[in-house]
Structure 1
Amino acid sequence: MKWVDYEADWAYWINPVTFRMPRVKKAVPEGVVVLTKEREVVDTGQSYIATEYGFAEENGVKQITKPEATDILTEQMLDYMRERDAYPVNTEIVREYANGNVEIEYKPSDYDRFIIKLTPELIGGDVLQFLEDLADASDLEGMPDPWRIEPAKSGRAKCRTCKQTIPKGELRIGEPSYFDGKLTYKWHHLKCGRDFLQGYSFEKLAGYVDLTNEQKRELEEFVPR
């Protein structure tokens, strides 16, 4: 994952792997939607929060419209659903149409809302049946997060970020991936993959309960809450 510099006083990016929305800290990954916030004051003295949308590319963050951001999120959400056979967090079916279209509300925060429209053409079949076959995200509450944290077991696995091996015993972050319907992991050094965990509750990470107190402190030092 390549990162591009982005300086903003108040901005977030939507992680297409988790559909959580961590705050921007000087840089964002390529290929993500960015929401930049600013408080505006009108003539009456009242204020409101204005949101600008962007898309992170190799040369920086390009400004886009909300409909364009929604189109990008629709593609990313469909990839998520097909790969994990599950709904992303913070999603809910809000409308069904006679023509087979279905609208899903995605709320990454209390103040941001996207309507994702799925069509039979986009899905390649019956949308409702496709959605009914997915695991409901609400059913996963309280279960360990599919992301994993653990000490490297062998020292042979390579970090997917920097391509270097992860020494045996060193903490590594497991990015969930699915092969032939089974859960597997793409591993990252803790220092390389820590941005993936922004906005996460460590207690829900698979493997967290098995860490020693020293390892938990190391995780908290690398990934401030």
Structure 2
Amino acid sequence: MPSSTSLYTTRGFWERLWRMSGNNFVIFAIIAYVIYGSQPQVGASADALVAFYGGHHTRILIAAAVSGLAVLNLLWFAAALRTTLADAGQDGWGAAATASSAAVGGLFLLLIALSAALAYSIAGSGNTTLTSGLNDFAWALVVLSSFPRAMLIMSGSFGLWRAGLISNALFGAGVAVVVLGVLGGTTWVSGGFWAPDGVYSRFVWPILGLLWVVAASRVLARSPATRAGW
């Protein structure tokens, strides 16, 4: 049995551990993206869908497991953000972070489940209509997930700023990311940069979100661990 003075029994150790979850989320998300590869675009041909989901069956399922770890760390990051804001007297923004992270996590898990199901059996069943529909549905989920993602960034940016933990410049950058994130929910053009499977939806907005998580994690790491709830 570890003694009561063990490093692992101190509240500071556990709080610092959970505050690192944002960085872990970013790492797992990047690894999952690299393993998963480039998902077929909206309206892709049956051959392209079968080639991707059927031909990369194992790779997609591995990416699903890694993505699950990413979601787990995202939720821990949001929990650490919430406790930091609550300790600073910003319970409202902390509650908003909890609600939005739950929505983001739920949508991400649904996306992971869709891809895993397509790779596991649906794409190989010969039902190309169902496969195509689910692939397009996944892209629609990516677009609509922009709103809770933007809310999570908004709650963190406003809460940390109101708590005096970030500068006005960082707050302004956070607000800009929120606006750009909300715009991500409007990417419904039939093709090109502003399409559901376009550059903005696939790269620009996700990269901005990951950069915000890294920045917020650094702020959390600098904040004193004052809560005994861990």
When normalised by structure 2's length, the TM-score is 0.23
Higher strand fraction (1 or 2): 1
Higher helix fraction (1 or 2): 2
Higher relative contact order (CA 8 A, sep 6+): 2
